[in-house]
Amino acid sequence: MSEYTTWHNETIGGAAVEALKKNGFEAEYIATADEAVRRLLDLIPDRASVGIGGSTTLKTLGVPEKLAERGATVLDHNAPGLTKEQKLEINRKQQVCDVFLSSSNAVTMDGELVNMDGTGNRVSAMIFGPGQVIVVAGTNKIVRDVAAAEERIQTKAAPMNNKRIGTPNPCVRAGVCQDCQGATRICNVMTIIGRKPGGTNIRVLIVGEELGF
């Protein structure tokens, strides 16, 4: 990573952190992914029940495996070999777990978390239910405002997630959202968390690297 990329990540990451703090979130900037994993593990009790939102960021960092090694009860509905019924049961348990981990499709420079879900289980757990919510987002997720967040979701996050999970949705062919209407559509529930919800503690770790979609 060049010194200019490092400078830019620190500059926009620090500004996003300050905006998040003004909106009531706990927030901090962490320079590297390795440091972010160590910080995350420090924040989570060894035997906590930990929900994992569908997150390429957390998977890339190896977070579910590291938590399981420490004795945590890991509630990951994307774990291999699960039936549809088992996935649904895990989704429900995530709503009341000790700690819920997720990334965010976008973080605005105004200190907002913007997300799009297919089912809504991830965004609902981010808003209310778990004892603690921790969001991990690379600086590649930082955008100017909500309009830019929507554009990022439509031109990058949603198409890439469709490709990852193997849907037949038209954005997989076009590379950008096409406002599909089929049963496999994953852009159904959009949330903007503009300030920390009254009943939920949300901590945001902004990481100075490109992570996830």
Q: Residue type at 174?
A: A
- Position 166 in a domain: no
Number of domains forming the structure of the chain: 1
Determine the Cα–Cα distance for residues 97 and 74; give it in Å rounded to an integer: 10
Domain membership of residue 156 (yes or no) is no
pLDDT in tens, 49-86: 999 998 999 999 999 999 999 999 999 999 999 999 99
Owning domain of residue 82: 3-104+117-143+199-207
pTM of the predicted model over 0.85: yes
Calculate what percentage of the chain has a pLDDT beyond 90. 97
Asked if residue 24 belongs to a domain, the reply is yes
Q: Tell the residue number behind the tokens 């996050």, with chain if given.
A: 157
Residue 157 lies in a domain: no
Residue 37 lies in a domain: yes
- pLDDT reading at 154 higher than 90: yes
Any domain includes 155: no
The CATH number covering residue 31 comes to 3.40.50
Task: Report d(CA 37, CA 199) in Å as an integer.
Answer: 26
3-state secondary structure of 170: coil
Per-residue pLDDT of 157-168, as tens digits, reads: 999 999 998 999
Q: Distance between CA 61 and CA 19 in Å, rounded? A: 26
pLDDT score recorded for residue 1: 83
Residue 44 resides in a domain:
yes
Residue 210's pLDDT band (boundaries 50, 70, 90)? very high
Give the number of residues written for the chain. 213
